[in-house]
Amino acid sequence: MTRTAPWWRSAVIYQVYIRSFADANGDGVGDIAGIRSRLPYLKSLGVDAVWINPWYKSPMADHGYDVADYRAIDPLFGTVAEAEQLIEEAHRHGIRVIPDIVPNHTSDQHAWFRAALAAGPGSPERERYVFRSGRGPGGAEPPNDWVSCFGGPAWTRLPDGDWYLHLFAPQQPDLNWQHPEVRAEFESILRFWFSRGVDGFRIDVAHGLVKHPELPDLPPRQEPAVLGPLISRESAGDRPRSHVDHPHWDRDEVHDIYRAWRRVADEFPGDRSFVAEAWADSPERLAAYVREDGLHTAFNFDFLMSGWDAKELRTVIDDSLAMLGAVGAPATWVLSNHDVMRHPSRYGRRATKRWTANEPYRPDGPADLELGTRRARAAALLMLALPGGAYVYQGEELGLPEVEDLPEDLLQDPVWERSGHTDRGRDGCRVPLPWSGGTAPYGFSPDGASAAPWLPQPEAWGELSVAAQTADPASMLELYREALRLRREHPALGDGTLAWLDTGESVLAFRRDPGFVCVVNLSPEPCPLPAHTSVLLSSGPLADGLLPPDHAVWLAV
């Protein structure tokens, strides 16, 4: 054995949505002190790292994805000194820390954007962003037909007549990545945090930074610009999917930026690593982000968007492993995050098919949460047995469902307003975690907190709290703990390869060496198990030695 593989090739990374993880100061919003107080929990869960959603100074128009100062922590969350303490304490627990970085856009309150507004049309200050004159008489029409991911046009006009580009909310002006100062500034921000000990970054909208220099209209018949839960894509059945030369998504020139970022990461000791949030047309296009001189890993959203369907999942797994393997990169697997409906609620619906062309995930009637939870347990064992790394979104280990009945007047996601109240947005997967007790705030905030949690927690969440699930062998939490424990210890798990076993169309079964088999039954009938010496872990009880529908099992062979 030569050098041990770097940690990020097989890491299980826990996503901390900071607003909703743990509130130490009782203002109803999670904070850094809250994360610090829960490090023992993360240690006992058995994760290798945490990815923390943006904690920078921000007016919170998109809950931190609108950054006003990349070198400051928002007072809502804490201070830079507390962030340093967190990094140090996490490291003492053997947990690495990966903050989010948001390079596609700043806040409209960022010093650069304020200076651009003050300096007026044609000024050098405006060149760091994407300002243009409008089209049509008096320049009254936007410069092109681009559309904001949150709904409405991607351009806003200023009183001085100029328009500026924002692929997200108007409070999130897009930076001009052709500008050398923009490039230099972000390399300096990376160094600022690397020298404070962070182990890497999750790169927000990594595929969006470079725009076509002429800002042409969207290609004909191309659906409006959408991303994430709203992304436009074709179904897995239609592969190979063709790559469209898009004026602002996934342009080849973006990789220059990441080659430079890689050089910055490599200036620092230890294995610092990047994970790209890149939505690409195909696994081939995704693989371009993770070359040896580029980023280390990228989220594999194809897995997340697959329906609960053996054929679809197998296609996604095979394509991902082949394309990423060809460039020497590990796969990453993800089932949920802060932008999509939580997976017990997705899997608990009849239409669990892959999200289809140009449509966000749209629920078809109420979720059957018993079914969804059963499948979520099986999906966890599938994900954690696959070669590569995995992401666990906070609360997924508790089996939290999407909160689909938040009162409309409490919805905060800009998607709700920007869509003209047709899309409720992403608040339902961002509800504060239940830690203990039978009533809200379920230990999320301390006793005697001055404010209620920023989103209301459902009445039944006491049963799902960490305290309620701890030591209950049938709970989702103990399933995750046991799976993560076995994953750490078993030499076959983590980085590596897999070999499929022939178990028919609706059962996924694969072998990993040495001596490990995972079987997932997506058929409506119980299925027999391959020969094995023992059952290591199963997502639910076996019935007469058979694996029931919507169950998964790990076997020693």
In DSSP terms, which residues pair with 499 in a beta bridge? 511
> Residue 373 Cβ, how far from ligand BGC at the closest point, in Å?
25
Q: How far is CA 389 from CA 218, 298, 430, 494, in A?
A: 35, 10, 23, 7
Which amino acid does the sequence have at 338?
A: H
- Which of positions 322-351 make contact with ligand BGC (CB under 6 A)? 338-339
Computed from CA positions of residues 144, 147, 151, 154, in that sequence, does the dihedral angle turn out positive or negative? negative
Q: Give the residue closest to ligand BGC by C-beta.
A: 65
Distance CA(183)–CA(188), nearest Å, equals: 9
Q: Is 39 helix (H, G, I), strand (E, B) or coil?
A: helix
The three-state DSSP-derived secondary structure of 234-269 is CCHHHCCCCCCCCCCCCCCCHHHHHHHHHHHHHCCC
Q: Which of 506, 509, 513 is nearest to 491 (CA)?
A: 513
In DSSP terms, which residues pair with 556 in a beta bridge? 516, 534
Hey, what long-range contacts does 462-465 have (CB within 8 A, 24 or more apart)?
A: 462/434, 462/437, 462/438, 464/398, 464/399, 464/400, 464/434, 465/398, 465/434, 465/435, 465/436, 465/437
Who's near 318: CB < 8 A, 6+ residues apart? none
Cis peptide, bond prior to residue 240, ω within 30 of zero: yes
**Token pair of 363 as six digits:** 């629920």
User: Is there binding between residue 168 and ligand BGC (CB under 6 A)?
Assistant: yes
**Contact letters for ligand BGC, residues 464-503 (x by CB under 6 A):** ----------------------------------------
Q: Please, are residues 542 and 508 in contact by the beta-carbon 8 Å criterion?
A: no
In DSSP terms, which residues pair with 202 in a beta bridge? 100, 275
**What are the helix (H) ranges across 357-475?**
369-385, 414-418, 466-469
Beta pairing, strands 389-393 & 12-16: parallel
> Residue 338 Cβ, how far from ligand BGC at the closest point, in Å?
6
> Residue 339 Cβ, how far from ligand BGC at the closest point, in Å?
5
Distance CA(404)–CA(92), nearest Å, equals: 38
Biggest CA-to-CA distance, the chain? 77
**Contact letters for ligand BGC, residues 251-280 (x by CB under 6 A):** --------------------------x---
**Token pair of 474 as six digits:** 């049938």
Q: Exactly one of 88, 238, 256, 267 is catalytic; which is it?
A: 267
> Residue 389 Cβ, how far from ligand BGC at the closest point, in Å?
18
> Residue 250 Cβ, how far from ligand BGC at the closest point, in Å?
14
**Contact letters for ligand BGC, residues 94-123 (x by CB under 6 A):** --------x---------------------
Q: What is residue 507's DSSP assignment?
A: E
Among the listed residues 29, 189, 205, 305, the single contact to ligand BGC using CB under 6 A: 205
Distance CA(416)–CA(407), nearest Å, equals: 12
- Cβ-based nearer residue to ligand BGC, 205 or 384: 205
> Residue 447 Cβ, how far from ligand BGC at the closest point, in Å?
31
For residue 523, count CB atoms less than 10 angstroms from its CB and return exposed for 0-12, middle for 13-18, buried for 19 or more.
middle
Q: Exactly one of 204, 397, 402, 550 is catalytic; which is it?
A: 204
- Cβ-based nearer residue to ligand BGC, 257 or 493: 257
**Contact letters for ligand BGC, residues 38-77 (x by CB under 6 A):** ------------------------x--x------------
Number of residues lying near ligand BGC (CB under 6 A)? 10
- Cβ-based nearer residue to ligand BGC, 205 or 321: 205
Active-site residue, 267 included: yes
Active-site residue, 447 included: no
- Which of positions 211-230 make contact with ligand BGC (CB under 6 A)? 228
User: Is there binding between residue 204 and ligand BGC (CB under 6 A)?
Assistant: yes
> Residue 65 Cβ, how far from ligand BGC at the closest point, in Å?
3
> Residue 328 Cβ, how far from ligand BGC at the closest point, in Å?
26
- Cβ-based nearer residue to ligand BGC, 261 or 308: 261
- Cβ-based nearer residue to ligand BGC, 21 or 435: 21
- Cβ-based nearer residue to ligand BGC, 228 or 363: 228
- Cβ-based nearer residue to ligand BGC, 204 or 309: 204
User: Is there binding between residue 174 and ligand BGC (CB under 6 A)?
Assistant: no
**Contact letters for ligand BGC, residues 518-537 (x by CB under 6 A):** --------------------
List residues with catalytic annotation.
Answer: 204, 267
Residues near ligand BGC, by CB under 6 A = 62, 65, 102, 168, 204-205, 228, 277, 338-339
